[in-house]
Amino acid sequence: MLAADKDRLVAALKQNALALRQKELDYYVERYSNIATQASIVAGFAFDSLTVYYGSASLTMALALYTVCVASFATVYGHRLALQGPTGSVERAVAVMMKQRHSIFVTYGLSLLSLVVAAITMSWIKMGVAATFVSGIFLALLLGLVRKHQQMKALFRIPQEHMVQGDVRLFAGAEHVDVSRLEAGFGEAAESDARLPLLRQAAPDATGTQPLRSGTPP
């Protein structure tokens, strides 16, 4: 009875720890899905102007498609690993998706920059003298976006030592155990493993005599 209750306790702890990790995984999945959607729109804009502005439009489309593909790969394979992988796969999926965020954000930002360059090129081809004013507007927009991004990044910044992640760890002195990797081991199998040395000690040897105990004369 107690062994079964212990197994149930360990299973409940592990399930709750995995639920926290799942929230962290869902955060990255939703984040990458939003970026992939926006990048696909940028790629559509670049495709429409591909017949006129070859350089900037091609670069915009390539970067946007790269963002869409990598974000989609991370979402699909990350979910698959977390759902069908062995113990510890949720933690591994979160770690892999976390490593991909830098390249995804950089390529998405470069695709937006290339789109602005394509818009400036369009203004110089079609607008003549007014292109100077239009180019100034686009450059001001670009600088404003970069500055606003840096401001919001600083406002929402979380210090590394205060960063809270989805892992739940139990500390015992110098040792620590990830709760999501706990394995139940208090049931009948564990009890039989614990009784095995006692059974071997009490079993007779090959001569059929019982083993001597301490304090028992020969």
How much is the pLDDT for 196? 41
Say what percent of the chain tops pLDDT 90.
Answer: 1
Phi-psi region of 208 (alpha: psi -120 to 50; beta: other; left: phi over 0): left
- Name the residue among 65, 2, 15 with its Cα closest to residue 35: 65
pLDDT tens for each residue of 14-35: 777 777 777 878 888 888 888 8
When mean pLDDT is compared across 3-7, 40-44, 161-165, 185-189, the lowest value belongs to 185-189
Compute the mean pLDDT over every residue in the chain, rounded to the nearest whole number. 74
- The arithmetic mean of pLDDT across residues 87-102, rounded, is 85
- Burial label for 33, CB within 10 Å (0-12, 13-18, 19+), is middle
pLDDT computed for residue 30 by the predictor: 84
Whether residue 97 contacts residue 86, with contact meaning beta carbons closer than 8 Å, is answered with no
Quote the CA–CA distance of 80 and 74 in Å, as a whole number: 10
**Mode of pairing for the β-strands spanning 175-178 and 169-172:** antiparallel
Query: What average pLDDT score do residues 92-117 get?
Result: 87
Percent above pLDDT 70 for the chain: 69
- Locate the DSSP E strands across 47-196: 169-172, 175-178
* Residue closest to 27 by CA, chosen among 179, 151, 166: 166
